Structure formats: structure tokens, C-alpha cells
């Protein structure tokens, strides 16, 4: 396959199958087909798809049985299943949910609705895969101190749903359905009131009537999806008519789903369950991702940015300064006689020296400057400054390090010095790789000249 999601369509009507295949391939999906449940299970065992679309009324083995078999197997239980039914009423939908299906669609299938349901479930599938990957790496990050403020991540025991709707008899049915799923509910009868609740509580899901006064569902959806802090909160729009234009507009604005009023309570339960699972997976992934990112860009000993992050930052900052015609300087800072320090006082004290020198360097630069551990006993400082300004910073760092007593409360307490090399753009170099080489050369000049000094690159 070319990397497109693989959908298995299980349908005994060749005409319906062709229509479904055409819809899915037009949406960029790769499609496999099966005429019976037995054929479908054989294909799933051989090559698990990303999603299964299965007709309820199949010969020999029903769609319920196919779904139940998929969900009972450890290797396939995470594959999303959508059941297609031409049956009216709630019995078929209830049985589909009991079989473990993730969603259901009524025949004849609407192209927009099919696309929306498939894409939503595929996103959940990708989140599941990523969470599983992060869990395998969890031991590496579980003790990592990490703030996750600034993003709508839920830490509640019970998910919170904010319901925005005009007072009516149906509100009681909706709230009863939600409470039966062990959810907390906050009800708002005005769009401004709803948004205030969303911003105050960061709920796990927003269910909003499109005709809500103050701000309608479209406006609320636009605000939530346009705010980076809360954009991952799922939004379900409720419309009073099966209006295709409203559905399309809601999807374009980023709505995660839509329901037609009067709301079918089984559909509500299915949609809410699916979206809350998606939100929970996103929260797990985002928390793990933040920890992984933190670990991947920082040095575990000193807490400074690491070598890889420094080089990427230097490249992008150099390009920015080059385009904006701003000066940029690079300092390479090396602790003098560090091997001797390790040999005489031990590696634990050497680690302490690295951490304390890192702290001193950080204290003597601006917040906008970047300090990184380049490797070993060497640090890098990137400053938006010309050569004269960078030289003054380098001299200040050198004096501060020399005056600092390493391990002040230890019997091994001592002082160290640093050698510093400096190179600048545009004075010395026209590309970031060369700037790094030149700062390194200036550092070697400082060390060769007797250490404990600052040297500016001399071409």
C-alpha cells in the first residue's frame, strides 16, 4: 500500500459495495473487500486493516458476529468497526453497541457522513497506536518533572460534558443518557455562558445546539477550535434538521460530530463514548509527548538544552537573523582542566561541577539567549548580539565562574575557570555551520593561549 489508511468493506451486495468503495477511494483511502463474514475474518487475520465497514445483514455470519469476533481478539480489538444497517428503530443500533461496534451508519449511506465517521475513527486509531508506543517508553519518562499547563488535559475521575441547549423537554432525556454513562454535566442555555464554562473548566466534551442564543453552535465551534489551549476538546453540534449544508459547515469549522434533533439517545451514547475515548487518548498521548519532547531536547544532568536541540536552534535562529539582518553570536565555553578535576575529586564531583557551571552561565545571560550543553565539559551560548556585546557577556561569564565555589558545602570544594571562544554573524561567517566551526576554533585559541580567557575568532 502507499501509506493510505486501509479500509475493509464487508458487503454482500455488489452494487452497494461498489458505491462504498467509490466513496472511500475518492477520499484517499485504500480499500479491501469481502462478500462474507468468514472471508472478512480471514483477510483481517492475514493483514489487519485500519478500519472495518461491515453490513449488518450478511449470509451465514451477521455483522454483529463479525464485530464481536474482531473485538474479542487481542490482536484486533483496537480496529474500529462501523456497522451498516437498513433497519429502522433502535434495536439494531443497541445490538450493534452490545457487539462492541464503534459506530453505525444507516443505509443508504451519505457520502459526507461516511467520510466524517471514518476519519474520526481513524484519528482515534492513530491515537491508540501512539499511546501504546508511548507506554512502551514510559519507564524512560515516568520520573520526569513536567508541567502540562496551557493545554486542555483532563485529570478528572469522571469526564465533564458541557451541554449548551435551549430549555426543552428533550434536555432531560439527553442529561439522563449522559448521567447513565457516569458523566458529570454542566448545562448552559446561552452561548456566552457556555463559552465561559468551557474556558473555566476545560471540559472533556461540548455538546451544543446550533441555534443556541448569544453565540450559536457554529460560533462556539469556531472559538474552541481556534484556541490552541482548548482546540482538542471534542465538539458535537446538534441541528434540528438533517441539513447537509449545516453538516458541511460544521465539519469545515472542525466539529467532531453532529446529531440531528430530536436526538436518538443510542446515537448520542455512541457518539459521546467514541469522542470521550478519543479525548482520553489525546490526553494520554499529549502528556507522554510533552515528556518525550522534554527528554529529547534536554540534557538530563544539567537541565540545559542538549546538543541536538542546540544545533537545530542555531540553524533556525541563524536563518532568522540573516533574513532580518540582525547580529548573532555564538560562545563556546569549556571548563579548564576538567579531566584533572574528575581524576582528583571523582566523577560525582565532576558532575556537580558541570551542574553548577551550567547554573552560573544561565545566571549571566538574558532569558532570550540559549544555553546548551554541547558535550562533555563544553557549553554553547547563542546570543542575538554583535561581537562587542557577545565579548562582554563572555567576559562576565568567565569572571562569574572563576568566583564561584563549586561544592561550597563539601570538603572537596574548589574553584574552576573556563575558556571561551566567540564568533559572530555577519562579521565572521555567512552560514551557521561555519559559525560553529569558527567559535570552536576561537575556543581552541583560548585554551592554547593559557586558558581562563576569552578569544574572538581571528580569520
Residues with active-site annotation: 377
- 3-state DSSP: the chain helix, strand, coil percent, rounded to 5? 50, 20, 35
- β 418-425/328-335 pair status: antiparallel
- Of the candidates 417, 420, 433, which has an alpha carbon nearest to the alpha carbon of residue 392? 420
- Of the candidates 127, 144, 140, which has an alpha carbon nearest to the alpha carbon of residue 283? 127
Cis peptide before 238 (omega within 30 of 0): no
Exposed/middle/buried for 310, CB within 10 Å: 0-12, 13-18, 19+? buried
Report how far apart, in Å, the C-alpha atoms of 127 and of each of 258, 325, 344 are.
Answer: 21, 42, 51
Largest separation between any pair of C-alpha atoms in the chain = 89
- Contact status, residue 4 vs residue 118, Cβ threshold 8 Å: no
Q: Which are the contacts of 128, defined by CB distance < 8 A and separation ≥ 6?
A: 78, 281
**Secondary structure of residue 374 in the 3-state scheme:** strand
Q: What is the C-alpha separation between 98 and 72, in angstroms, rounded? A: 12
Report how far apart, in Å, the C-alpha atoms of 386 and of each of 164, 166, 382, 428 are.
Answer: 56, 62, 11, 11
DSSP 145: -
Number of helices followed by number of strands (H, E) in the chain: 16, 17
Strands (E), 15-74: 30-34, 51-55
Amino acid at each position: 500500500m502507499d501509506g493510505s489508511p486501509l479500509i475493509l468493506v464487508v458487503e454482500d451486495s455488489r452494487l452497494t459495495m461498489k458505491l462504498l468503495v467509490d466513496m472511500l477511494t475518492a477520499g484517499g483511502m485504500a480499500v479491501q473487500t469481502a462478500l462474507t463474514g468468514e472471508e472478512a475474518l480471514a483477510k483481517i487475520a492475514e493483514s489487519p486493516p485500519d478500519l472495518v465497514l461491515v453490513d449488518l445483514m450478511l449470509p451465514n455470519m451477521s455483522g454483529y458476529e463479525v464485530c464481536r469476533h474482531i473485538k474479542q481478539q487481542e490482536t484486533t480489538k483496537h480496529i474500529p468497526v462501523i456497522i451498516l444497517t437498513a433497519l429502522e428503530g433502535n434495536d439494531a443500533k443497541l445490538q450493534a453497541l452490545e457487539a462492541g461496534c464503534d459506530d453505525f451508519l444507516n443505509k443508504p449511506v451519505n457520502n459526507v457522513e461516511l467520510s466524517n465517521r471514518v476519519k474520526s475513527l481513524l484519528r482515534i486509531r492513530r491515537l491508540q497506536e501512539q499511546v501504546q508506543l508511548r507506554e512502551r517508553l514510559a519507564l524512560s519518562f515516568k520520573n520526569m518533572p513536567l508541567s502540562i499547563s496551557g493545554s486542555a488535559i483532563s485529570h478528572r475521575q469522571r469526564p465533564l460534558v458541557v451541554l449548551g441547549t435551549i430549555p426543552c423537554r428533550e434536555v432531560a432525556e439527553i442529561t439522563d443518557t449522559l448521567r447513565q454513562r457516569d458523566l458529570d454535566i454542566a448545562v448552559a442555555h446561552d452561548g456566552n455562558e457556555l463559552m465561559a464554562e468551557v474556558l473555566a473548566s476545560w471540559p472533556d466534551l461540548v455538546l451544543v445546539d446550533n441555534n443556541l442564543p448569544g453565540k450559536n453552535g457554529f460560533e462556539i465551534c469556531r472559538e474552541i477550535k481556534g484556541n490552541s489551549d482548548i482546540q482538542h476538546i471534542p465538539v458535537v453540534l446538534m441541528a434540528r434538521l438533517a441539513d447537509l449544508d449545516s453538516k458541511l459547515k460544521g465539519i469545515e469549522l472542525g466539529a467532531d460530530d453532529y446529531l440531528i434533533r430530536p436526538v436518538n439517545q443510542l446515537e448520542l451514547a455512541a457518539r459521546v463514548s467514541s469522542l470521550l475515548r478519543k479525548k482520553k487518548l489525546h490526553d494520554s498521548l499529549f502528556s507522554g509527548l510533552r515528556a518525550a519532547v522534554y527528554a529529547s531536547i534536554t540534557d538530563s544532568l544539567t537541565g540545559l538544552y542538549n546538543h541536538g536541540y542546540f544545533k537545530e536552534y542555531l540553524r533556525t535562529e541563524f536563518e532568522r537573523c540573516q533574513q532580518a539582518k540582525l547580529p548573532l553570536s555564538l560562545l563556546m565555553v569549556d571548563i579548564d582542566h576538567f579531566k584533572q578535576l574528575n581524576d582528583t575529586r571523582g566523577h560525582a564531583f565532576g558532575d556537580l561541577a558541570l551542574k553548577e557551571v551550567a547554573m552560573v552561565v544561565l545566571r549571566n545571560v538574558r532569558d532570550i539567549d540559549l544555553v546548551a550543553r554541547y558535550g562533555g565539559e563544553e557549553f554553547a551560548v547563542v546570543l542575538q548580539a554583535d561581537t562587542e556585546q557577545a565579548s562582554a557577556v563572555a567576559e562576565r561569564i568567565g569572571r562569574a565562574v572563576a568566583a564561584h565555589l563549586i561544592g561550597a558545602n563539601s570538603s572537596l570544594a574548589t574553584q574552576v575557570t573556563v575558556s571561551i571562544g566567540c564568533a559572530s554573524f555577519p562579521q565572521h561567517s555567512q552560514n551557521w555551520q561555519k559559525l560553529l566551526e569558527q567559535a570552536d576554533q576561537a575556543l581552541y585559541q583560548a585554551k592554547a593561549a593559557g586558558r581562563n580567557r576569552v578569544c574572538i575568532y581571528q580569520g
